[in-house]
Amino acid sequence: MSATHKIYFYPVWLRVWHAINALGILILIITGISMQSDMDSNVIGFNMTVNLHNIAGVVIFVSYFAFFIGNLVTNNGRFYLIKMKGFFKRPIKQGMFYVWGMFHGEKYPFPLSEKRKFNPLQKYFYVLVMYLAVPVVIVTGLALLFPEIIIDKVYGISGVFMTAILHSAMGFFISIFLIIHLYIASVGKSPLENYKSMITGWHHV
Amino acid sequence: MKRIIAKKKYCWILIISIALLSNLSNLHAQSYKNAQHHQCLKCHSNQTYSFKNEVTNKEVKRLMNPYYILDTIAMSAGVHKGFDCTDCHSSEYQAYPHKSTLKLDPLSTCLDCHGGDEAFASYKFDKIQEEFKKSVHYKVYGDNFSCSKCHNQHTYVATARNSSNVLEIVDFDNKMCLSCHNDMKKYNLVAGHINPKLVQIHSWLPNQELHFSHVRCIECHTEVIDSLMVSHNILSKDKAVKKCVQCHSSDSKLKASLYKYQNLQKRSEKGFGSAILTNSSYTIGTHQSPTLKLLSIVIFLVTLGGIIIHSIFRILKK
């Protein structure tokens, strides 16, 4: 049995941010689904649901800045850089591992190290979520907090309507990401290993 | 030969008659447009009026009562543009100075023409009258609250039934309410007290300005009944809609009120991407569009299915 090697992947600031982000996103998803499902008779009522969604949204907006600046000033940002070499090949290889290789005893195609925190497929999804979906959901969310600033008509369709569609479509994308994120996290040395890492900061390689 | 001459004679009579008739039918509309030549409007469209005082034998110029000044441009676009003043007002008004007792004569009411008439059956004026009598307006002011308190008979246009522009309909309709509710004197006349401040009283409403310009006051302040476009049972403040979901849901109240009008029901067909973005309701988010709603459910189920299958393989291959 080879000795396990530990890497301190998740510094305190990142874990705190991750916890706040996780809680905020969960509240946003639950209240968001509640609002668009015509649920007036939910436990806390429609008005409270809207207020909670707004507060959680502002918290996520602030915490996103923490993440963004944290990635700029620490080494963590480099893990999000995508290499152009093997742009498609590398994530496909990782995908093939998840659907085939891992059931046939194949080795992990991109073992994690001090230089590689995310596998290519994981990296692509994180970049899409953190640098596209979340910013879009924040901008559209802020616009919906102040709807009078939104352009009235875009190609004959209400600007508020388009913003709301974009906001909830991105919100939905983030929800799907969260489900996959939580599930894939269980594909580790043991099913609970990665969850523990997000609390202790140490990742067993 | 005599026959031909007779025929020509009839032809001329016919042509002259048609010319005269067409001129006559335009007479009223033209007279509203040329107010200075209209017997009534030459005074009632101006800030001032002049007349010869036969007692003092002097020419007198006076200020016109502002409530008796008419907007002739709006009048010539109104639904009653084909009528002349004396069709509703006493013909004795043609004489000036007007007899003081004329003010006491009852005016023709709207239902004198519109009530019980087959031509106006689709408007259901009698049902409107019945609903109106349940309204807060009737309770406060009784029979003195005439239709014209809201529907200015001189300038009224059936905007909601004809316009395909929601904002135009909302603006036109809300101005009817605001003509009193934003006017101390007129509000006081009916209510007997000064009107409450509208902005403060609606401070609970999120995005108040946006709501005021995009939905009509009556959306929340009128009871919805199926048989009428607008029930006219204007509700008191405590009975008005205050729950967001009554509009912001797939079963939106607006479908039964503002979007009840045929001319607005097809509005979503305009503009690009309408096949996907059918704005069928005021539900918040993507569920406004049935296509996106279905797509999101499919993606969710596929994701969940994928995870379940993957988990089963993981357990089996352990």
H helices, E strands: number in chain B = 16, 2
For residue A4, what is the DSSP state? P
- Using a 10 angstrom Cβ sphere, with 0-12 exposed, 13-18 middle and 19 or more buried, the burial of residue A57 is buried
d(CA A97, CA A140): 36
pLDDT grade for A205, boundaries at 50, 70 and 90: confident
Residues of chain B in contact with residue A168, where contact means CB-CB under 8 angstroms, are 284-287
- Stretch A105-131: mean pLDDT, rounded? 91
pLDDT at B267: 46
d(CA A151, CA A160): 8
pLDDT at B208: 87
Whether A172 sits inside 8 A of B274 (CB atoms) is: no
Whether A47 sits inside 8 A of B244 (CB atoms) is: yes
Q: Is the pLDDT of residue B261 over 70?
A: no
- Stretch B252-279: mean pLDDT, rounded? 55
Amino acid at B104: L
Q: Is the ipTM of this complex over 0.90?
A: no
Instruction: State which residue of chain B sits closest to A184, comparing Cα positions.
Output: B307
- Stretch B178-204: mean pLDDT, rounded? 88
Whether B272 sits inside 8 A of A50 (CB atoms) is: no
Residues of chain B in contact with residue A39, where contact means CB-CB under 8 angstroms, are 245
Whether A172 sits inside 8 A of B299 (CB atoms) is: yes
Q: Is the pLDDT of residue B52 over 80?
A: yes
- Stretch B291-297: mean pLDDT, rounded? 87
pLDDT at B136: 92
pLDDT grade for B271, boundaries at 50, 70 and 90: very low
E strand map for A70-186: 153-154, 157-158
- A176, B300 in Cβ contact below 8 A? yes
Beta bridge partners of B60: B51
Q: Which of A174, A182, A179 is nearest to A198 (CA)?
A: A182
Residue A86 CB neighbour total at 10 angstroms:
11
- Name the minimum distance, in Å, from the CA of B151 to any CA of chain A: 29
Helix (H), strand (E) at residue B219: helix B217-221
Residue B68 corresponds to which tokens in the numbers above? 């008796």
d(CA A77, CA B211): 43
d(CA B192, CA B186): 10
d(CA A179, CA B300): 9
**b/e map A161-181, b = 16+ CB within 10 Å:** bbbbbbbbbbbbbbbbbeeee
Question: Which range, of A39-43, A52-56, A75-79, B311-315, averages the lowest pLDDT?
Answer: A39-43
Interface of A with B in 51-110 (CB under 8 A): 98-99, 102-103
Higher pLDDT, B227 or A130: A130
- How many residues are recorded in chain A? 205
Residues of chain A in contact with residue B289, where contact means CB-CB under 8 angstroms, are 165
- Stretch B30-55: mean pLDDT, rounded? 84
Most confident range (mean pLDDT) of B13-22, B68-77, B102-111 is B68-77
Helix (H), strand (E) at residue A7: strand A6-8
Give the nearest partner residue to B285 out of A36, A40, A148, using CB atoms: A36
d(CA A65, CA A31): 23
pLDDT grade for B61, boundaries at 50, 70 and 90: very high
pLDDT at B123: 82
Q: Is the pLDDT of residue B269 over 60?
A: no
- Name the minimum distance, in Å, from the CA of A13 to any CA of chain B: 31
Q: Which of A113, A172, A141 is nearest to B293 (CA)?
A: A172
- Using a 10 angstrom Cβ sphere, with 0-12 exposed, 13-18 middle and 19 or more buried, the burial of residue B259 is buried
Whether B310 sits inside 8 A of A183 (CB atoms) is: yes
d(CA B134, CA B146): 14
Whether A165 sits inside 8 A of B284 (CB atoms) is: no
Whether B299 sits inside 8 A of A176 (CB atoms) is: yes
Domain-embedded: residue A87: yes
- Using a 10 angstrom Cβ sphere, with 0-12 exposed, 13-18 middle and 19 or more buried, the burial of residue B258 is buried
Whether B289 sits inside 8 A of A165 (CB atoms) is: yes
d(CA A120, CA A108): 12
d(CA B26, CA B82): 8
Q: CB of A150 within 8 Å of any CB in chain B? A: no
Residue with tokens 């004959």: A156
At residue A204, the 3 state secondary structure works out as strand
Residues of chain B in contact with residue A176, where contact means CB-CB under 8 angstroms, are 299-300, 303
d(CA B157, CA B160): 9
pLDDT at B29: 43
d(CA A89, CA A121): 10
Whether B303 sits inside 8 A of A179 (CB atoms) is: yes
Range of the domain at A58: 6-204
Most confident range (mean pLDDT) of A83-87, A162-166, B298-302 is B298-302
Domain-embedded: residue A129: yes
Q: CB of B165 within 8 Å of any CB in chain A? A: no
Q: Can you give the CATH number for the domain in which A79 is found?
A: 1.20.950.20
Structural domains of chain A, count: 1
Instruction: State which residue of chain B sits closest to A140, comparing Cα positions.
Output: B285
Give the nearest partner residue to B210 out of A99, A147, A168, using CB atoms: A147
Q: CB of B208 within 8 Å of any CB in chain A? A: no
Q: What is the dihedral of CA A140, A141, A142, A148, to 10 degrees?
A: 70
Whether B245 sits inside 8 A of A157 (CB atoms) is: no
Whether B288 sits inside 8 A of A38 (CB atoms) is: no
Domain-embedded: residue A1: no
Domain-embedded: residue A106: yes
